Amino acid sequence: MSSRTYAITGAASGIGKATADLLVESGHRIIGIDLRDADINIDLSDPTDRNALPDLVAELAPDGLDAILAIAGGPPNVNYFGAIATLNGLRPLLAGSSAPRAVAVTSFAAINEIDDRLLAAYLEGDERKAAAETERITASGRTDLLYPSSKRALSQWLRRESITPDWAGNGIPLNGVAPGIIRTPMTFSILENEDSRQSLLDMVPMPLNGPADAHVPAKLVAWLASEENSHVTGQVIFLDGGADATVRGDAIFARQQ
């Protein structure tokens, strides 16, 4: 395979760093984007920084990109608005690639309970409304709904947009990877304690090999973004040790009324 140029958000830690390291080892060029310790240091929760991102990437990649990997996450507005701004904002830089690709990292949490009003605000692209709904949910004490709602919105957006002229029409496969429990700096302390580890596994049951290291989803992200992937698009692939199959079973095949 020829050397390719990838823009990766969240490149300084976790899945983003594991993916960047894997691609560099394979001879590709990486433009890392993160809050710090990256080629481009910006805050994807800040609309001004998000708007500046395409020009900043273009300066470092004057010949364009081959793939966009929207991996940064955590705060709900980064999970959704940060990912969407990255994918839409950098998409024009894929125009010169012979094999353009795009991947976002969502989460197993996307199938958990969500808040419908917050989900609607995300899908409407209304950041002010989403902020107001977030305040409402926080005041109610249901902060557990915030993360799943943002990841559900991202997953639905990926499905909808993947088959549009902007993406499929331009020959760009657009996919998502939905990890279960991944060993990263954010989860190390939880997984080291037996009680908290079991509580987490009760919520995200992973009968196949349990929690995974970050290099595991990195390999799937790298393949989806590679030249080899010519036809997989619109998919949110659960890399979760069987958690989705455990929780939802055959329900995903239920006939829609």
Active site residue 80: no
Structure tokens at 16: 């983003």
CA separation for the pair 111, 184 (Å, rounded): 21
Residue in 6, 80, 122, 147 annotated catalytic: 147
- Contact yes or no for 148/114 (Cβ under 8 A): yes
Distances (CA, A) of 211 to 6, 149, 174, 208, 228: 27, 23, 26, 9, 27
Q: At what angle do helices 146-162 and 116-123 cross, to 10 degrees?
A: 40
Residue carrying the six token digits 């429990």 = 181
- Contact yes or no for 14/21 (Cβ under 8 A): no
Q: For every residue of 14-49, which 3-state class applies, written as one string?
A: HHHHHHHHHHHHCCCEEEEEECCCCCEECCCCCHHH
Active site residues: 147
